Structure 1
Amino acid sequence: MAKRTGSVPFEADRAVPGLIVKFGAYPLHHGGVGAIRSLGRLGVPMYAITEDRYTPAAASRYLERAFVWPTTGTEEPERLVEGLLRIGRRIGRPTVLIPTDEEAAVLIAEHQDALTDRFLLPRVDPQLPRHLASKQRLHELCVEHGIPSPTAAFPQSYDDIVDFAEKARFPIVAKNREAFVRRSRPAVNGTTKISTREGLLALARDWGEHPGVILQEYLPREEAEDWIVHAYFDQDSTPLALFTGVKVRSWPPHAGMTANAYVVDNPELADLAARFIKQIGFTGIIDLDLRFDRRDGQYKLLDFNPRMGAQFRLFENESGVDVVRAMHLDLTGRPVPEGEQRAGHRYIVENIDLPAFLAYRRSGYTTPHAPAKASGTELAWLAGDDLRPFFTMLARFVRPGAKHLYQLWRTNRRGSSTSSGSQQ
C-alpha cells in the first residue's frame, strides 16, 4: 500500500492552490489523483475538473472542491478558456494549473496571455506543446536536433501509401499523426501494428482522401526496452527535477498506459532528454516515452507528452520532490530542493497490472533492467491516508472496466496476424 510521504525539507506555499485540468471523459485517471495527494499532503488546497461528483479524484480527502464540467476535448477553445476563467474566479486567488492531457496542455499554452491574470503556469512558446504532441512535428524536431527516433513516413494520399507499401519492410506501425484523436473518426485506434502490405492497403482504404497517419518503423520488442523520463524544466529550460525509469508492463501490452515500472538510474538517457529540452526551449513538466533499440544501441523517442504523466508518482527524489511539487515550488518562487532519485522504487497501477502481467507472461517478454527486488512500492490507487479514491475506482471499474480490458486484449490478439494490435 502506498504510504503517506513523511516530513520533507521544504515548505510549499499553502496560499496558492492547484487545479487539475482535464478535458474529455476519462474518470479513472490515477495521475490526477496522484497530483491531488502529492500537493494536498503538503497542505496545498487542491481543486479539480471532474466529469461528475463520483470520480476517484472527487472522492479524495485532499480535494477542496470538484468542479463538475463534462467535456469531450473537442469544444471550441474560446469556450474552454472561458470555463477555466470562470473556475478561476470561483477559486478567488492565483492558482497553479496542472494539465493531465494534451488538449489541456496545448490550450493553456496557446491562451496563456488570457489565463495569467487568474493562474500560474510555465511561460512557453505558445505553439511548442502542440508541435511536441504532434507525431509528425515531433519527428521533424528530432531530425532537426539529432535526437534518434524511428524512421517514419507521412503519406498525403492513398497513392503515397501504395508507393510506401512497395518499399516498406514489414511489420510497420501506424499512429494518428496529431495528438487530438478525440475527433469523430480517428484513422487508427491508438498504436497499430501492421504485418503485411495487403493489411496496410486494406486499412488505408478507410483513411480518406488525406490520411492523418504516420507510418513508422517497427521496433521489435525482442530487441528493445521501454524507458520513460519525467522532468520539470524552469524558465531557462534547466531541469529542476529529472527522473528516469524502465517500463516493465503496459496495457494494452507493449503500447498503452504504464501498468508497472521501476526507477532506474540512466545518466545517458537523462542527458539526452535535458539536451533536447534545452535545444527546443521547453518550460514545464514533460513525460517522455523512449525505446532502446539493442540493434543499434540508440534510445529512440516515441512520444513527447508536454504535461504531467499519469505515472509521475513513480518518481520522487530524496528531498521528497516529484515533478508536480517541483512545478508548484518554482511557480510560487520557492527553491526546488535537489536530491537523488529513489532508485529501485516500483509503481503499480492495480486495475491494469494484473491483465498486463498475464499478457506479458504469455509472451515471455522480460525487462533486463528491472531490479530483482523493489526498494519500495507506490500504488496508483490505494493509499492508507486516502482510501476513498481506491474504492470509488473499484465501483466504477469492475463491470465496464473488465469489459474494456477484454476488448483491448482481443484487439491485441488479432493484431499479430493482419492489421491491428498495439505493439509499440
Structure 2
Amino acid sequence: MVEQTLTTRALILAVGPNGLGALRSLHKAGVSCDALVADKEDVSVYSRIPRRVKSFTQGNQAELLKLLLSWPEQGLVLIPTSDWYVSFIEQYQQQLSTKFHFVLSGNKQSLEFIDKRAEINRVSSFVNVPVSVTELPNTAQLLLQLCQLPIIIKPRSHAHNALKKKNIIIDTKAQLQRFYQLFYPHLDSVIAQQVISGDDDHQWVCNCVFNEQHQLVSHFTFQRLQLSPPHYGVTCYAVSKSNDAVVEQVRSLGLGCQLVGPVMVEFKRDADDGLYKYIELNPRLGMCNYFDTQCGVNNVLATYLIALGQRVPTTKQQDNCYFLGVYEDLYSRYRDQQSIADVVNHYRQMLSKKRYYFYFCWQDPWPAVVLGYGQLKRSISAITHHVARRFSVRF
C-alpha cells in the first residue's frame, strides 16, 4: 500500500532546518519533492533534492496563495514546516483543498495550539502542566502571588509577539517590576509559567504523528543535552532515547485534544518531584525531523501518508544516536561559559557513538558548506572588528 502512494509528489513549505529535514526525509523514502521558500537564501535553496524551488515575499499571504493555486501540478501533498505556514493553510484550506492534499486538525484547532493561552487551557486536563498564568494581572505583586519566581514570560504566538523574542526569564522582583514598566500595554499578548527546575538534559521532545482517529501512529523521543541559547533555546545537541512516560502523556494528549497530523511536544522532568511536565506543543513537524528519520522513524513520511489517507507502517526508533548542530552548540557553550576541557570531553564521548548533524549529510552536503562558509566569514569579521577596536583604544 505504501509503495502505491510514493508516486505522488510533495510540496514542502520550507523554513530553515525544518524544511531541509522534510525534503531529506521524503527523498530518503523515495518521494519526489518541490520546495517553496520565503527567503531566497533559505538553506533548502542549496539542497540538491527539490526538483523545483520557488520563492515569495515573506509574510505576503495573497502572493503565496496565488503562487500555490497556480502551481503547475495538481494533487501534490502540501507539508508546512512553520507555525506561520500552518496558520496560512488553516485560513485558506477551502481553496487549497481543491488542488492539494494536506493534513490539519481541522475546525481551527491548529490555531488553538499556536496561541499558547488557548493551548495551556486545552491541554491541562491531559498532561502535567507547570503553574501557569494565561492572563497576566495588572500588577506585578499579584502575579508573584500566583506564580513563584523564577518565571518565564512567553509570547502567545508569532502574531502576539510584543516581546520580539522567544521568551523572557524573570529571576527577581526587580526584573518583574521592570518587565511591567516596559510591557504593561502588551500584557494580553503573553503568558507566564513557573520555570521547571532541572538542567538542560532534563528536557525531552516527542516528535509524532496522529491519524484521523487521533491515534498515535508514529513517534520518536529524544533527550536534549544542550540548547541554543543555553537553557531556554532550541535543540543543538541531543541523544535519541525511548521514553515511555513521555509517550503515554502524548498519547493521552492526542486522544483528549483530538489531534491529527504531525505534532512536536516538549517536556521537562522536574528535578523537585520527578514528573515529566509539559512545556509546549507545536502542531507541525519538529525542527529536528531528519534526526527522527535517521534513527528509523520517518515522521515526515507518516505525515505524507496520513494526508493521502494511507496506513502508516509501524517503526521502532534506534536509541543512543547523537545529534549535533556544530555552530549553534559552540555558541551555546560559549554563552554558558563552559570550559574548553568540558567542551572537548562532550565531543570526545560523542565520537564513539553514531552521530548525525543539523545541516550536514553526505548525500546532500551543499547546504552545510554554504552555511559553514557564511559562518566563517561572520566569525572572521567579528574577530577583525574586535582586534581593531582594541588596537585603536590602546594606541
TM class by shorter-chain length? 0.7 to 0.9
Listed one character per residue, the Cα deviations across residues 41-85 of structure 1 (whole Å, up to 9, x for unaligned) are 33322122224544321121111111111313xx4x5x26xx235
Paired position in structure 1 for 2:370? 392
Which residue among 258, 262, 267 is the counterpart of 2:239? Answer: 262
Separation in 1, partners of 2:158, 2:41: 28
What CA distance in whole angstroms lies between the structure 2 residues aligned with 1:131 and 1:139?
Answer: 9
Q: Give me the whole-angstrom Cα distance separating, in 2, the residues matched to 1:39 and 1:120.
A: 15
Shift of residue 142, structure 1, vs aligned partner: 2.4
Structure 1 residue aligned with 2:213:
236
Q: Do the aligned residues in 2 keep the contact of 1:49 with 1:66 (CA within 8 Å)?
A: yes
Q: 1:104 to 1:192 in 2, by over 3 A?
A: same
Which residue of 1 is the match for residue 171 of structure 2? 195
Shift of 1:123: 4.3
Q: 1:52 to 1:203 in 2, by over 3 A?
A: closer
Residue 89 of structure 1: aligned partner: 70
Q: Counterpart of 1:351 in 2: which secondary structure?
A: helix
Corresponding residue for residue 154 of structure 1: 134
What does residue 415 of structure 1 align with?
A: none
Does 2:288 match 1:323? no
Select 1:339's aligned residue among 289, 295, 315: 315
Query: 1:110: how far off?
Result: 3.4
Equivalent residues in 2 for 1:247-258, closer than 5 Å = 247-258=224-235
- Alpha carbons of 1:401 and 1:109: their partners in 2 closer, same or farther (altered >3 Å)? farther
Q: Secondary structure at the match of 2:153?
A: strand
Q: Deviations over 1:375-419 (max 9, x none)?
A: 522212111111211122223444458999xxxxxxxxxxxxxxx
- Which of 10, 13, 27 lines up with 1:18 in the alignment? 10
Is the alpha carbon distance of 1:403 and 1:11 closer, same or farther for their aligned partners in structure 2, counting shifts above 3 Å? farther
Query: Please, which of 244, 248, 257 is the counterpart of residue 271 of structure 1?
Result: 248
The SS at the match of 2:65 is helix
Q: Contact 2:225 / 2:238 at 8 angstroms: preserved in 1? A: yes
Cα distance, 1:272 vs structure 2? 0.8
Q: Which runs of structure 2 are paired with 1:10-409 in the superposition (5 Å)?
A: 11=3, 13-22=5-14, 29-72=16-59, 75=60, 79=62, 83-143=64-124, 145-156=125-136, 159-165=138-144, 168-181=147-160, 186-187=162-163, 189-211=165-187, 212-222=189-199, 225-316=202-293, 320-359=296-335, 362=338, 375-399=353-377
The answer as to whether partners of 2:322 and 2:356 remain within 8 angstroms in 1 is yes
Give the C-alpha shift of residue 130 in structure 1.
Answer: 1.3
Q: Which has the higher contact order (CA 8 A, sep 6+)?
A: 1
- TM superposition score normalised by structure 1: 0.80
Contact 1:122 1:235 in 2 (8 A): no
What secondary structure is seen at the aligned counterpart in 2 of 1:229?
strand
Q: In the TM superposition, what is the alpha-carbon distance from 1:222 to its structure 2 partner?
A: 4.3
**How far is 1:17 from its partner?**
1.6
Judged with a 3 Å threshold, the aligned counterparts in structure 2 of structure 1 residues 220 and 120 are, in CA distance, closer, same or farther, namely: same
CA distance in 1, matches of 2:297, 2:72: 26
Distance 1:20 1:223 in 2: 31
What is the CA RMSD across the aligned residues, in angstroms? 2.9
CA distance in 2, matches of 1:123, 1:362: 42
Q: Secondary structure, in 3 states, of the residue corresponding to 1:262? A: strand
Task: Using the TM superposition, name which of 274-283 and 294-303 deviates more.
Answer: 294-303
Percent of aligned pairs with the same amino acid: 20
Tell me how far apart the structure 1 counterparts of residues 381 and 92 of structure 2 sit (CA, whole Å): 38
Structure 1 Cα separation of the partners of residues 146 and 354 of structure 2: 48
Between the aligned partners of 1:227 and 1:252, the Cα distance in structure 2 is 16
TM-score by length of 2: 0.85
Instruction: Please state how far the C-alpha of 1:341 moved relative to its aligned partner.
Output: 0.7
The verdict on how the C-alpha distance between 1:395 and 1:31 changes in structure 2, with shifts beyond 3 A counting, is: same
Cα separation, partners in 2 of 1:230 and 1:401, compared to 1, 3 Å? farther
Per residue, is there more helix in 1 or in 2? 2
Q: Following the alignment from structure 1 to structure 2, what is the Cα–Cα distance between the partners of residues 168 and 123? A: 34
Q: CA deviation at 1:228?
A: 0.3
Query: Once the two structures are superposed, what CA deviation does each residue of 1:232-269 show, in whole Å capped at 9, x if it has no partner?
Result: 11111112211111111110111112101111111111
Q: Is the 8 A contact 2:39 2:55 kept in 1?
A: yes
Separation in 2 of the partners of 1:394 and 1:44? Answer: 28
- Please list every run of 5 or more consecutive structure 1 residues that lacks an aligned counterpart in the other structure: 1-8, 367-371, 405-424
Asked whether the 8 Å contact 1:259–1:348 carries over to 2, the reply is: yes
Write the letter of the residue equivalent to 1:171: P
Q: Deviations over 1:323-365 (max 9, x none)?
A: 1011112323443221211111222123212222445572999
> Structure 2 CA distance, aligned partners of 1:236 and 1:365?
47
Partner SS state of residue 44, structure 2: helix
